[in-house]
Amino acid sequence: MKRAEMGRGTVNKWDQKEFKQELCRCTEKMETIIQAYLPKEEGFQRTVLEAMNYSVLAGGKRLRPMLLLESCRLFGGDERLAEPFMAAIEMIHTYSLVHDDLPAMDNDEFRRGKQTTHIRYGHAMGILAGDALLNYAFETMTEAVEIAKHLPVEEYYTTLERILQAQRILARKSGIYGMVGGQTVDVEATEKQERLTQEKLDFIYRLKTGALIEGAMMAGAVLAGASPDELVKMEGIASKVGLAFQIQDDILDVTSTVEVLGKPVFSDERNQKTTYVTYRGVDECRRLVEEISGEALKELSALDGHQNEFLRQLLIWLISREK
């Protein structure tokens, strides 16, 4: 099946072989786009540029840029406009991991099977590389304006509005009302060795993990011209996906191995963190993942006139992943 068949109003069922092949192609495409927007390693500040690129190119599923692109395609958008945002959201995600690995946070030495940035380049450069990636992400988003300049005049101003709205979404979802806010509550609870209530744990998961997934899917939809009502529905779908994704992460932390996971296991227990597994146990968490992800997929299928089978398969894959 060709990509052009996955736009508006088309439902196609893929088998697992087709999905895995398309996933490989899409991942390669993400790598090419992300690398195209990374800074050149030159000048007196070369070390921080090297550290930035090392962090981004250390691997990963490229989930968030993929979700952004497929959400844009779901509503029939132009993927060229989405490309700077795809690179930018991966930079934001990577900066959060660089800082999360620091001694003041989780103090991890390996991620994705490689040395973490602060181990490779030193603590100070790890902080600076994270700072630089966040700033460079928003600089990268502005490249979409240059792409918009080549559009017909009647489309230009509408497209600019969409670009600004997408930037605002990613700023909020990655900031104090999103990812940073969730991380703040998580860090404070860890420092106090606090056993989190279910309400506070849900708050952390919704913001720390879910917010950037919401940002990816919402930004992609906005760039394609999704209506306000459709945007609300996409946020709800992404919120459920984010929660299921994080619960699955909790499960993997106690059931996987370093070799499979690509990062330390039992890190939540070591850092005395309360997780869904703490409250519910592994079996109940697996049931919850299935239930919550099922609701998300049902809501995705209910979007009138908009279908993207690869996006549906992608959500299933990421929630049931083994690493």
pLDDT in tens, 113-157: 899 999 999 999 999 999 999 999 999 999 999 999 999 998 999
Q: What is the pLDDT of residue 65?
A: 97
Cα–Cα distances (Å) from 90 to 87, 123, 215, 246, 273, in that order, read 5, 22, 12, 18, 26
By the 10 Å C-beta count (0-12 exposed, 13-18 middle, 19+ buried), 236 is classed as: middle
Neighbours of 16 (CB within 10 A): 10
Q: Rounded to an integer, what distance in angstroms lies between the CA atom of residue 205 and that of residue 198?
A: 10
Q: Rounded to an integer, what distance in angstroms lies between the CA atom of residue 125 and that of residue 258?
A: 26
Which residues, in sequence order, are bridge partners of residue 8? 306
Give 271's pLDDT tier (boundaries 50, 70, 90).
low
Range 176-186 average pLDDT: 96
Which domains are delineated in the chain?
14-319 (1.10.600.10)
Q: What is the pLDDT of residue 85?
A: 98
Give 34's pLDDT tier (boundaries 50, 70, 90).
very high
Q: Is residue 216's pLDDT more than 60?
A: yes
Give 265's pLDDT tier (boundaries 50, 70, 90).
very low
Give 256's pLDDT tier (boundaries 50, 70, 90).
low
Q: Rounded to an integer, what distance in angstroms lies between the CA atom of residue 254 and that of residue 38?
A: 35
pTM, 2 dp: 0.89
DSSP helix/strand/coil, 115: strand
Q: Rounded to an integer, what distance in angstroms lies between the CA atom of residue 68 and that of residue 238?
A: 11
Q: Rounded to an integer, what distance in angstroms lies between the CA atom of residue 46 and that of residue 289?
A: 43
